[in-house]
Structure 1
Amino acid sequence: MTYNLHFSKYQGTGNDFVMIDNRDLSFPKENTKLVAFLCDRRFGIGGDGLILIENDAETDFKMVYYNSDGNESTMCGNGGRCLVAFAKQLNMISDTCSFIAIDGLHYAKISDEIISLQMIDVNEVSVNENFTFLNTGSPHHIEMVTDVKNCDIYNKGKEIRYSDLYAPGGTNVNFVEKISDDYFKVRTYERGVEDETFSCGTGATAVAIAMFENKITNKNAIQIEVPGGMLVVSFDKNEVGIYENVILSGPAKKVFESDITVVL
């Protein structure tokens, strides 16, 4: 089978994605082999994931996200921010928008190259002795470390991701070092990518909320340094303990666009 595809490549703090305009619904969405090929860094285009933009009757567009293994996945924060930039490239939106994703409704705004994305509310944070777990559209295990730069992210992350604690679906794993009250360094092992990524938006969001919930910070606007750059997470905790108005902000940039012919 031969596939002729036009695509754009975007990255948000080094978290990179293949973007395809699927408003005509022509992309073979069940073809996991094709998605995995397009995300392959040696034989395909290369990306941490692939995102389709589609029409939606009630919002500006619909987001359909696949991990680099070819399987449709849960919410991707940086992917959502990149998709907003892609929607503007396609002249679907101006500087504000709403869209639907697998975890529900999102709002976003564009200010130069900074995309600010409203994430879902978080109503449950599980605080344990050595880690915290919460879902910010995707599940995240969070551990504090003293030297995140030299932490063995791949092996430690893989062990936790596949542990019985999170069977059968697994989890993303974040390792966090506190720099100051409003500044944390984070590295993330992502399920579906099955490796460390340069950045994880839902992970950065989870870390910020976890630091506040654990009283490691009293700030509700937090800088998160990831290997690919800097993100900012802000939120409010209401009187019943729900985290709302959760905003993930950071750069999202077009890398290039082109055409590819794939024979599978």
Structure 2
Amino acid sequence: MRVPFIKMHGLGNDFVVLDARAETLPPINARVAAALADRREGIGCDQLVLLEPSADADFRMRIFNSDGSEVGACGNAARAVALLHGSAARVETAGGIIAVEPDGGGARVDMGRPRFDWDAIPLAYPMDTLSMPVGWEGMDNPAAVNVGNPHVVCFVEDCDTVPLDELGPEIENDPLFPERINVNCATIESRTRIRLRVWERGAGLTRACGTGACATAVVAMRRGLVENRVTVVLPGGPLTIEWADSNPAAGASIVMTGPATEAFRGSFEWDDYA
């Protein structure tokens, strides 16, 4: 069976998109996803994105990390899918329904409401998620938030000097996080600008992480470090994050705006990866 794919990226965070909305594909499992994501023997990507019909939204988006694990949300993939779809849509994800809309060369995405309760992250035991009494080699006083995916956020003087390639996997797999965690290392540059690096659960260091930018921005807003509209600069480039009310009780959604790009299209033989 010959299967078409679209290779896309958001600020260098790259995806292989399979569109099964009109034509059903064989079931995707962790082994197939990891084989397609392999950069030496597969197509190569940070995440595999599968589009399917949905009974509750315009369509469904499933996201698999490069290790084959399935995750609840991906902000950069949401922008890429918005660009591919070509019009405003409600998209079902494992983390909830989000709203996407093409915007110039990218998209504006309503990422939904952040969740801060310890058991929504989840953590292994109760604690204040805005100021956690834990740390890892200078990554101290972190915060945790679930924005469709679970994130831990640490603010440091210079995020570029932190050995995130070493600390990332240690923190990701810390017993405090029973479902593992995405690790954000951030530096506040001004009231409207944050510099960020992210170790993604199941994918490692990536050039950009949309949910990481959202998580870091809302934590910084809750701590009063930045305004309610902020530019988050990742290695791949900037994203704009807005959160209308930094009071969690207000229930405001996070809005992310940024670019997305289609790189190329191709096809592969399904049996080569099944």
Q: How does 1:8-87 map to 2 (within 5 A)?
A: 8-24=6-22, 26-87=24-85
Moved more, 248-257 or 59-68: 59-68
Distance 2:248 2:231 in 1: 25
Confirm or deny: 8 A CA contact 1:123 1:241 kept in the other structure.
no
Matches of 1:260 and 1:252, distance apart in 2? 23
1:157 aligned to 2:155? no
Structure 1 unmatched runs, 5+:
89-93
Further displaced range: 26-35 or 221-230: 26-35
Question: Which of 224-233 and 34-43 deviates more?
Answer: 34-43
Shift of 1:102: 1.0
State the alpha-carbon separation in 2 of the partners of residues 102 and 255 from structure 1.
26
Q: Scaled by the length of structure 2, what TM-score is found?
A: 0.87
Number of residue pairs matched by the alignment: 253
Alignment correspondent of 2:182: 172
| CA distance in structure 1 between the aligned counterparts of 2:248 and 2:208, rounded to whole angstroms | 31
Partners of 1:79 and 1:238 in 2: CA distance:
25
Q: Amino acid of the residue matched to residue 38 of structure 1? A: L
Report the Cα offset of residue 123 of structure 1.
Answer: 4.2
Q: Does 1:140 align with 2:151?
A: yes
Q: Give SS of 1:59's match.
A: coil
Q: CA RMSD in A?
A: 1.7
Give the corresponding residue for 2:201: 191
Contact preservation (8 Å) 2:159, 2:186? yes
Per the alignment, residue 221 of structure 1 pairs with: 229
Equivalence map 1:200-219=2 (5 Å) = 200-217=209-226, 219=227
- Which residue does 2:130 correspond to in 1? 127
CA distance in 2, matches of 1:132, 1:156: 16
Counterpart-to-counterpart distance in 2, 1:29 and 1:216: 45
Quote the sequence identity (%). Answer: 30
Is 50-59 or 221-230 further displaced after alignment?
Answer: 50-59
Local SS of the residue matching 1:82: helix
Q: Which runs of 5+ in 2 are unaligned?
A: 118-128, 134-140
CA contact (8 A) 2:222 2:246 kept: no
Residues 25 and 32 of structure 1: CA distance in aligned 2, closer, same or farther (over 3 Å) = farther
* Matched position secondary structure for 2:169: helix
Cα deviation 1:206-242 (Å, max 9, x = unaligned): 000000111112x100100001111010012276634
